[in-house]
């Protein structure tokens, strides 16, 4: 079982991430599922009627605006990094937390590596599914790399210049 | 200049530790080359033809004597005894060992320096006028704003993996010496009718493969909103800039695709959410930063026109140097002095360790222990007493800094080219040298007057050839190194892109070609007319005819 980082701790993964081309056929009623955006868009009523937990995941090019008024339906929103050098979802996470007031889990999936975690945490991610070949225990160190930051973001709503002693 | 407090120092020291660990993990095989690459790039570390190249950040070009001495030390202890002033006011080392870089960063941190975001697809070092704070034509000192932008952009968590690199320049003077219109964002500090401070905002300028002059999308952004507006621009770019093709990934392509007007609307729509939030700048913060840039303790002096004229008469060499390498200062009795790093036979912008030490010394004795790097790849002592100018000239001559060519044809901007750079189509430094050798007659050079001659070894345009009055671009012609010439570019307030003259030339022809171009100018010019103005009046044809004449 994959272990993921959640709120700074390693936990066993309990959610199932459905692939991009997933359909409703044979879909579990009770499992906690993270479904691709397209499945949600086409079958939201059926998905809402299930008993298990529901999350949705977005490709880097998919826009959060598309579901901004439906966020209450999701316990998890997972944002996919096709490559760690693609920073689009850093803006998505920021918007989710600050513009759309989303309080559920925002999870980084895909090419998720230790050296990006500090900034992901800052913009609003609170869960991280590291790339499978990477050691999540080692990645925990990322959160302590910087003891001070300049900008306002999700983790620290005041920029340093409003906090400087 | 800005001095770190405990917060700034902590951030830089944390970075040293972080990069030390990243390098260790790379060398231990825990990080693949592909994974390490963007990390090292964001720390200014390229891997080049012969060795890594480390680009040290010099925020908006300002260095203290202590920092200049550190450049000397690094050049001596970790490199081959020299370094290079870049066209973005930074300092580059060409030969450090990867294993040494963490140690170099630790040394830099002791003098409040770093290499953060000097490369990679992130917000780069913010640049400005090399005469900021002393220029007579300055309206607003851009340096505090550059520092505020530096802090905002340093490890901005949302914008560390942009589609492509991102460069911001700020100007606060009547003339534009910061080339703001060829930057991703150009900011011009202005005052409105009520005397309030704000910024004109240009976006989408840039050189490289697709040179574009930026578009102004906001004529007056009140200063309080600078950061929220920058956040808005960057967010639009981060989300919608192209990522499928690195040659189409700069913000200029997005602005062009959307049109500047639509881009401006998108930014505005984003900005209304951010405006008046916690990132709104406070008077206290601006005052805190600006306090680092107040005037040094200038003496009350008079201008020394008569005394200097007398020295000119006696020493023609001094007169010439003074004419080219000094710049009017806002304070009576003071003058800014440019140290030319363009003597013939030295790669433009190269400085040896001994020269760095000498510069640090001169700055202490003549100019309040500070220097500035210019994007023209020279170094400036900004606050020299006119009464000391003659003795300074003598010292500069001893150290090889007194070539009286600032702004002249031989003050060439030149990228490292094929001698160092693995992307090059052609060498660029030998072309610069051949031209410098051809134009070795100072009287003739002075008569030709102001010319920006810029050379790049490939279309990445590190040498800014598109905005040279004369631009030279290295091209590959069936495996041979050839050079394309273009005319009429400008990076000043009237920014324009150069027009290609015609088919390219072999290396051996280049000095002749430039010679012909200059001859056309000299024949065609009206009195006092500059090369650029003449070109704009007569157009490209007369130059074409001469250069490609049948006897050629
Ligand atoms: C030696 C290794 C170097 C390499 C491999 C390199 C690589 C590049 C590349 C690939 C670009 C184009 C990026 C783009 O179009 O988005 C670029 C642009 C640029 N480089 Fe370099 N460069 C090198 C050295 C330098 C040096 C020494 C300078 C300063 C003298 C410099 C100044 C610039 C500038 C100012 C640009 C930006 C042009 C623009 O605004 O688009 N580069 N460089
Ligand atoms: S212009 Fe081309 S050759 Fe010159 S430094 Fe840049 S990438 Fe290298």
pLDDT of residue A1: 63
CB half-sphere exposure, A18, CA atoms < 13 A: 23
What does the pLDDT read at residue B53?
87
Residue B3: pLDDT band with limits 50, 70, 90:
very high
* pLDDT tens-digit map of A99-109: 999 999 999 99
**For residues A19 and A34, what is the distance between their CA atoms, to the nearest angstrom?**
9
Binary contact (B157, A164; C-beta < 8 A): no
Range of the structural domain that residue A128 is part of: 3-162
pLDDT tens string B277-290: 999 999 999 999 99
Check if the beta carbon of residue B69 is closer than 8 Å to that of residue B360: yes
B239–A88 CB contact, under 8 Å = yes
**Pair B70, B442: CB distance under 8 Å:** no
Instruction: Check whether residue B141 and residue B275 sit in a common domain.
Output: yes
Q: Count the domains in chain B.
A: 4
| CATH assignment of the domain containing B91 | 3.90.480.20
Cβ–Cβ under 8 Å, residues B378 and B341: yes
- B23 in any annotated domain: yes
Q: Is residue B119 part of a domain?
A: no
B370 lies in some domain: yes
A-chain residue closest to B163, CA distance:
A86
pLDDT digits (tens, 9 = 90+) for B352-386: 999 999 999 999 999 999 999 998 899 999 999 99
Residue B126 included in any domain: no
Choose one of B399, B424, B458: the last residue of a domain: B399
What's the pLDDT score for residue A26? 87
Nearest protein Cα to ligand 2, atom 6? B462
Contacts of residue A7, defined as CB under 8 A and 6 or more positions apart, other chains included, come to: A126, A127
B117 lies in a domain?
A: no
Average pLDDT value for residue range B258-263: 97
Residues in chain B with CB shorter than 8 Å from the CB of A150 are 11, 151-152, 154-156
3-state secondary structure of B145: helix
Residue B205 falls within a domain, yes or no?
Answer: yes
Nearest to B338 by CA among B311, B362, B316: B362
Window B:218-247, CB contacts with A under 8 Å: 227, 235, 238-239, 243
Instruction: For residue B481, list its beta bridge partners.
Output: B476
Same structural domain, B231 and B151: yes
Alpha-carbon distance of A9 to B355, in angstroms, equals 53
Tokens for B506, please give them.
Answer: 């072999």
Determine, yes or no, domain membership for B404: no
Q: Does A66 touch chain B (CB under 8 A)?
A: no
**pTM for this predicted structure:** 0.91
**What number of other Cβ atoms are within 10 A of residue B73's Cβ?**
16
- Residue B155 is nearest to which of A60, A149, A157, comparing CB atoms? A149
The verdict on B326 and B455 lying in the same domain is no
Q: Give yes or no for residue B456 CB within 6 A of ligand 2.
A: yes
pLDDT score for B50: 63
Task: pLDDT band for B2, please (50, 70, 90 cuts).
Answer: very high
* C-beta of B250 in contact with ligand 1 (< 6 A): yes
Q: Choose which residue among B180, B461, B462 to substitute to test ligand 1 binding: the one with the highest number of ligand atoms within 8 A of its C-beta.
A: B462
Average pLDDT, integer, range B38-64: 87
Interface residue B145 vs chain A (CB under 8 A)? no
Q: Which CATH number characterizes residue B445's domain? A: 3.30.413.10
- Ligand with the closest atom to the CA of B377: 1
Q: How far is the CA of B461 from the centre of ligand 1 (A)?
A: 6
Task: Indicate if B205 and B99 belong to the same structural domain.
Answer: no
Interface contact A86-B22, CB threshold 8 A: no
**Rounded distance from Cα A52 to ligand 1 centre (Å):** 53
Report the CATH number at residue A152: 3.40.50
The pLDDT score that the predictor gives to residue B84 is: 92
Distance CA B55, CA B91 (A): 6
Mean pLDDT of B165-181: 93
Question: Tell me, what's the pLDDT at B168?
Answer: 97
The answer on B95 and B28 residing in a single domain is yes
Those residues of chain A that have pLDDT short of 70 are: 1
Q: What residue of A is the nearest CA neighbor of B285? A: A161
**Predicted pLDDT of residue B333:** 97
Smallest CA–CA separation between A119 and chain B, in Å?
A: 4
Residue B152 lies in a domain: yes
Q: Which residue segment(s) compose the domain that B331 sits in?
A: 305-399
């Amino acid at each position: 079982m994959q272990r993921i980082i959640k709120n700074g701790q390693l936990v066993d993964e309990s959610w199932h991430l459905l692939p991009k081309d997933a359909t409703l056929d044979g879909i579990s009623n009770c499992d906690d599922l993270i479904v691709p955006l397209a499945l949600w868009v086409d079958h939201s009523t059926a998905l809402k009627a299930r008993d298990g937990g529901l999350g949705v995941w977005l490709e880097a090019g998919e826009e959060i605006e598309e579901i901004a008024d439906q966020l209450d339906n999701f316990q998890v929103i997972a944002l996919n990094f096709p490559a760690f050098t693609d920073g689009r979802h850093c803006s998505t996470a920021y918007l989710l937390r600050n513009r759309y007031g989303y309080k559920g889990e925002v999870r980084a999936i895909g090419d998720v590596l230790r050296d990006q975690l500090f900034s992901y945490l800052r913009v609003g991610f609170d869960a991280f599914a590291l790339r499978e070949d990477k050691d999540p225990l080692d990645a925990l160190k990322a959160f302590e790399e910087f003891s001070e930051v300049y900008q306002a973001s999700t983790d620290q709503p005041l920029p340093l210049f409003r906090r400087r002693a | 200049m800005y001095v770190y407090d405990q917060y700034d120092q902590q951030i830089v020291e944390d970075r040293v530790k972080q990069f030390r660990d990243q390098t260790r993990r790379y060398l231990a095989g825990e990080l693949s080359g592909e994974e390490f690459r963007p990390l090292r790039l964001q720390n200014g570390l390229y891997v080049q033809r012969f060795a890594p190249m480390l680009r040290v950040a010099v925020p908006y070009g300002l260095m203290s004597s202590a920092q200049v001495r550190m450049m000397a030390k690094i050049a001596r202890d970790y490199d081959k005894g020299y370094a290079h002033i870049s066209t973005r006011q930074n300092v580059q080392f060409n030969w450090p060992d990867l294993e040494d870089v963490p140690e170099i960063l630790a040394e830099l941190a002791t003098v409040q320096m770093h290499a953060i975001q000097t490369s990679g697809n992130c917000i780069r070092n913010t640049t400005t006028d090399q005469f900021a704070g002393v220029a007579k034509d300055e309206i607003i000192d851009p340096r505090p704003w550059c520092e505020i932008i530096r802090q905002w952009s340093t490890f901005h968590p949302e914008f560390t993996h942009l589609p492509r690199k991102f460069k911001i320049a700020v100007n606060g003077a009547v003339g534009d010496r910061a080339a703001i219109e060829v930057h991703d964002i150009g900011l011009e500090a202005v005052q409105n009718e009520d005397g309030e401070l704000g910024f004109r905002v240009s976006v989408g300028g840039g050189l490289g493969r697709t040179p574009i002059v930026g578009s102004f999308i906001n004529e007056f952004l009140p200063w309080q909103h600078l950061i929220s507006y920058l956040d808005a621009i960057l967010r639009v770019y981060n989300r919608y800039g192209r990522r499928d093709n690195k040659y189409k990934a700069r913000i200029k392509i997005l602005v062009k695709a959307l049109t500047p007007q639509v881009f401006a609307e998108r930014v505005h729509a984003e900005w209304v959410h951010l405006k008046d939030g916690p990132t709104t700048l406070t008077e206290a913060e601006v005052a805190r930063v600006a306090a680092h840039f107040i005037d040094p303790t200038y003496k009350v002096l008079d201008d020394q026109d008569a005394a200097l004229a007398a020295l000119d008469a006696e020493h023609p060499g001094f007169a010439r140097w003074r004419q080219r390498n000094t710049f009017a200062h806002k304070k009576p009795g003071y003058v800014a002095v440019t140290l030319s790093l363009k003597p013939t036979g030295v790669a433009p912008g190269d400085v040896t360790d001994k020269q760095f030490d000498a510069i640090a010394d001169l700055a202490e004795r003549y100019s309040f222990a500070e220097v500035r790097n210019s994007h023209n790849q020279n170094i400036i002592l900004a606050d020299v007493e006119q009464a000391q100018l003659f003795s300074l000239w003598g010292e500069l001559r001893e150290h090889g800094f007194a070539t009286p060519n600032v702004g002249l044809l031989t003050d060439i901007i030149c990228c490292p080219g094929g001698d160092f750079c693995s992307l090059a189509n052609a060498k660029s430094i030998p072309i610069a040298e051949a031209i410098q050798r051809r134009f070795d007659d100072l009287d003739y050079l002075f008569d030709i007057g102001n010319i920006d001659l810029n050379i790049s070894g490939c279309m990445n345009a590190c040498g800014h050839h598109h905005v040279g009055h004369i631009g030279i671009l290295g091209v590959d012609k069936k495996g041979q190194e050839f050079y394309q010439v273009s005319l009429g570019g400008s990076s000043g307030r009237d920014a324009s892109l150069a027009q290609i003259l015609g088919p390219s030339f072999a290396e051996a022809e280049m000095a002749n070609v430039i010679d012909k171009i200059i001859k056309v100018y000299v024949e065609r010019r009206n009195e006092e007319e500059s090369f650029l103005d003449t070109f704009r009046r007569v157009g490209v044809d007369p130059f074409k005819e001469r250069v490609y004449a049948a006897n050629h």
